[in-house]
Amino acid sequence: MLLVFLGGGVGSALRYLISKLLNPVHPSFYWGTFTVNILGCLLIGAILGYTSKVNLLSENQLLLLATGFCGGFTTFSAFAFEKHSLLKNGDFMPFFIYLASSIILGILAVALGLWLSTKNPF
């Protein structure tokens, strides 16, 4: 529990910093949240893929990195709230572009992370 808590705290703090830096770039698109979600998907894919390939990380390390850090770093609760805000404001095109690209690129980023961690040595 402590490892998940610590990893989640670091992930959440990093998510906040990235969002604070990138979200003001364009008022109709949350670049910080988008970036964090895609990077988080890539990272969890790489962590879990590498672990399944070489079985190097312990269960505690996985709890710290995958469950804690990646869980705190990714922001799908913020993602859902921001989608609601776009719909409420009538920003339908940014809503659909953000929704579709987040889901598609997130899935592709997980696949890329898995491929990178199992096909290429770190």
pTM of the complete model: 0.78
Residue 70: give the domain boundaries. 2-119
In the chain, % of residues over pLDDT 90: 69
Q: Provide the mean pLDDT of the chain.
A: 91
pLDDT band at 122 (very low <50, low <70, confident <90, very high): low
Known binder of ligand: residue 74? yes
pLDDT at 55 over 90: no
11 is in an annotated binding site: no
Residue 121 confidence (pLDDT) above 70: no
Average pLDDT over residues 85-89: 92
Question: Nearest 10 degrees: CA dihedral of 30, 111, 44, 35?
Answer: -20
How many domains does the chain contain in total? Answer: 1
Contact 28/95 with Cβ under 8 angstroms? Answer: no
